A and B are shown apart, each in its own frame.
Chain A
Amino acid sequence: MIAFIIKRILTAIPVLLVIASLTFIMVRIVPGGPFDEERSLPPEIVANLRAKYHLDEPVHKQYFLYLGRLVRGDLGVSYKYVNRTVTDIIIDAFPVSLQLGLAGLIIAVLVGVPLGTVAAVNRGTWLDFTAMFASTAGVSLPTFVIGALLIFVFGIWLRILPVGLWESPVHLILPAITLAFGPTAFLARLTRASVLEILEKDWVRTARSKGLTENATIIKHVVRNALVPVVTVLGPLTAILITGSFIVEFVYAIPGMGRFFITAVINRDYDLIMGTTLLFAIILITTNTIVDIIYKLLDPRMEVEA
């Protein structure tokens, strides 16, 4: 297992290098620069700013300067948030997105997997139709619609939950539910399909013929095996949820990472674009590695390979 993890870390390095290089090139190809504003600054001021951030150097030199800093763990500075480094921004914002994302993930797993299982076990009944109707709605409805709906019902109409801000644990409820809505529906549909497939397997029939109760059969033999495809999607899903959702954080005024994935591009905040992209890549690689380890725990016959 340790060899596997080390191998994964070593293979991640070239992957990250490729991602960093591609992102570096793409952000510089896009028209517009970090200091373009409605009122363009005098050329001498722009020259000072470009010199300050080494943007007056040839692009290849900028690239090697960036890589040199990256190797030293320096993600650079934000051109928009003048006195803050990219590391400062990530340190401030990532824990918020992590909390929100984990809450959303827990809701999605705790609701989605049982919902899908119940629907599959009760295939063709009203429970199945209801669960699938809800999950279709959950997959189809955009997050901003769900957010607005929840704010209206619980924040404005009933006035039992805050409409936004990040002041106390109560403020986590609506955004976490909003964030979890889509993934819950997706996991429910995936689990249902997977459970239905497993229910037809010979070993399930064997388990029943051995006299196991239906509950034990479903939990020990069906759900456990049906979870393999669910766990597969949990890797990227976790990465997406814990790095923040632009819409959820925007709608509920939550100071997380999600907004930077969009605003950094809008502002042409080069180092911040690079930093957020690399952060997402690192988290994605990490969660996929964890997923591979979980495969082994779910099914000891599986071999984990880098």
Chain B
Amino acid sequence: MNRTFQLHSPSPLVGTTLLVSRFVLLLALVLISCNLSACSSNKKRYEPGTLRMNLGSEPPSLDWHTTTDSNSYDVIANVMIGLTQYTQKLECKPSCASSWEILDGGKRYVFHLRDDIFWSDGKPVTAHDFEYAWRRLEDPATGGSYAFFLYDVENAQRINTGLTKDLSELGAHAIDDKTFEVRLKKPTGYFLYLTATCATFPMRKDVVEKHGNRWTEPENIVTNGPFLLDKWQHEYKIELAANQRFCDGKPALDRVKMFMVPEQSTAFALYENDELDYVDNRSFSTSDVHRYKDSPEYHSFPLLRGTYVGFNVTKPPFTDKRIRRAVAMAIDKSVFPKILRRGEVPSPAWIPQGLPGYSADSGLPYDVAKARSLLAEAGYPDGRGLPPISFLYPNREDSKLVVEALQAQLKESLNLRIELMNQEWKVYLATRKNDPPPLFRGSWNADFPDSETFMNLFTSQNGNNCTRWKNEEYDRLVAGAAGELDRVKRDRDYQRADTILCRDECPIVPMYVATQNVLLKPWLKGLLFNALDVQYFKTVRIGETNKSVSGNEQPNRATPCVTREGPVSRKSDGGSQ
């Protein structure tokens, strides 16, 4: 009995638990007191000379021939420079090339390279480095995703598709160490932009061949940009160090720390705890945007990234363009900024504002009465007789909000029954490509700041044209505009093509242009953004809030986010077409 009593009485283990509890309490008190003492001291909120930002995820590769994603480009664009570079107005200005000549009616380009540009190992950058890089990009063995960028160069497509094995047939040659010649199949109005994109940057043959697949690791890579790749802890952090020998002078920053924090709320907490100096769309949610929208730290600007609703024109009922036009006119695009809450800009047309051929009149207006009348004219008054229509979208939150809004709008205005098809990302892509349903959601990022990148998407032969729509006049106009060097005629052709696309034939309905939203700490100055969403750090300074460190007019505010039409912080020194 006595033993039984002991079993239910407080045992020595209880005493141990109490001891543990006391220890935990003591530890908590010590930690809190440490924190209080830290708060009372003047703790630095930033690391002088160091920019801390969030990439969001691991760059799949830093080989600029095989990667295609924006995270990789955020790194590459800061460690490398090409023949030309973008100004804040997204025009091309000299970079490795000090000048260039456009000859033979736009079919031949001759670039003259600067003498003072060196690789990080001290060797000069030569035309042979460009020749090797461009040949490697087209070599099928490289598997370069953006090899098609150079398909306008003589023999590029033949080499890339294996029709010829001789890489020296590529129409890009080093005439001597400092002269690089490019021959095109036909005049190409946007060619110069390609020389500012990462895929066309120079590359060192000896380094690639020596290190094979490991050539992009920090201990092997050689670069020619304002920063050097110093450390790469995969899936965690990349550190860049200032290039002391950079041709335009050492950047103001000593170091850039690029973390890879995938979870938005964690990245945002790091920003609020002053452990990141700025964050963008990758790092904060819509509710955070809403919370900060009146803060001087918050900036928003449109990107060259369009979202659209596509019709499969081979599937009823959208074989009839009157029904496509009716749907387009029944959508009130002004709701998208309200439901997505990131400052999206409704698109009247497919060509975004600021690019050649843009016109707000190219698209159809919001007109429910006219939409109903078109539907009745097509034989479906008030939507009667129409079967349910499948609408495909990927399992992403913003897409869900958009398609649900569209479903409600089309029900209310045209009495259409829309059945939403939600699919996992890669399944969605496969479905959209192989057997698109009557309605699907799509979006498109610009590769370079020209209408060609948007308009070519809906040409008959483009593999990304999932609408199955083919129009000879549209194809002819887009092909003509791409090769047209006369700016006025080019604008006119693109505008006419955009009208066919968005008003006459309507295989798509442009929805909105996405925006970049950023929060900048007051001590960060000179961060340059552009509508292509490539972020350059060479002008960034981290300093006291009461000092103007980059010529900003408002020292307590960070550099305004610059749009194509926005303020220009650096003078463009020409070179654009």
| A interface residue numbers (CB < 8 A to B) | 30-33, 36-45, 47-49, 51-52, 77, 80-85, 88-89, 92-93, 114-115, 117-118, 121-125, 127, 148, 151, 155-156, 158-166, 199, 205, 208-209, 214-215, 218, 250-256, 259, 266-268
Contacts and interface: CB of A to CB of B under 8 A. Distances in A.
A92 B433 CA distance: 36
A83 B214 contact: yes
B16 A82 contact: no
B160 A164 contact: no
B464 A52 contact: no
Nearest to B39: A159
The 3 A-B pairs with the shortest beta carbon distances in the complex, nearest first, are A32-B426, A255-B236, A255-B235
Contact of B426 (A47, A125, A156, A268): A268
Contacts of A127: 14, 17
A165 B3 contact: no
Interface in B219-277: 233-236, 259-263, 265-267, 269-270, 272-273, 275
Contact of A164 (B11, B12, B269, B425): B269
A47 B10 CA distance: 74
Nearest to A41: B145
B427 interface: yes
A115 B17 CA distance: 8
A40 B62 CA distance: 21
25 contacts: A32-B425, A33-B426, A33-B430, A38-B444, A39-B445, A44-B161, A47-B161, A48-B142, A48-B160, A49-B143, A84-B234, A93-B234, A93-B235, A114-B13, A114-B16, A115-B17, A118-B11, A118-B13, A121-B7, A164-B270, A209-B3, A253-B259, A254-B236, A266-B424, A267-B426
Contacts of A37: 68, 429
Interface string B28-69: 000110110011000000000000000000101111001110
Given A83-B66, A199-B7, A166 B430 contact: no
B147 interface: yes
Q: Specify which of A49, A114, A163, A208 lies most central, judged by the most chain B CB atoms within 10 Å of its CB.
A: A163
A271 to B, nearest CB: 14
Contacts of B105: none
A215 B145 contact: no
Given A118-B13, A122-B10, A255-B260, A36 B269 contact: no
B261 A39 contact: no
A81 B58 CA distance: 8
A193 to B, nearest CB: 17
B6 interface: yes
Contacts of A166: 236
B35 A159 contact: yes
Given A48-B160, A160-B35, A162-B275, 9 more contacts: A38-B443, A45-B147, A49-B143, A81-B60, A83-B63, A123-B8, A127-B14, A158-B35, A164-B270
B22 to A, nearest CB: 15
A56 to B, nearest CB: 12
B12 to A, nearest CB: 5
Contacts of B35: 158-160
A160 B265 contact: no
A130 to B, nearest CB: 10
B385 interface: no
Nearest to A125: B8
Nearest to B38: A159
Contacts of A44: 148, 157, 160-161
B430 A118 contact: no
Given A89-B234, A163-B266, A39 B12 contact: no
A208 B3 contact: yes
Contacts of A256: 235
Contacts of B16: 114
Given A82-B67, A156-B269, A253 B463 contact: no
Nearest to A124: B8
B363 interface: no
Nearest to A43: B463
B213 interface: yes
Contacts of B266: 151, 163-164, 251-253
A158 B236 CA distance: 25
A57 B322 CA distance: 46
Contacts of B200: none
B61 A81 contact: yes
B145 A214 contact: no
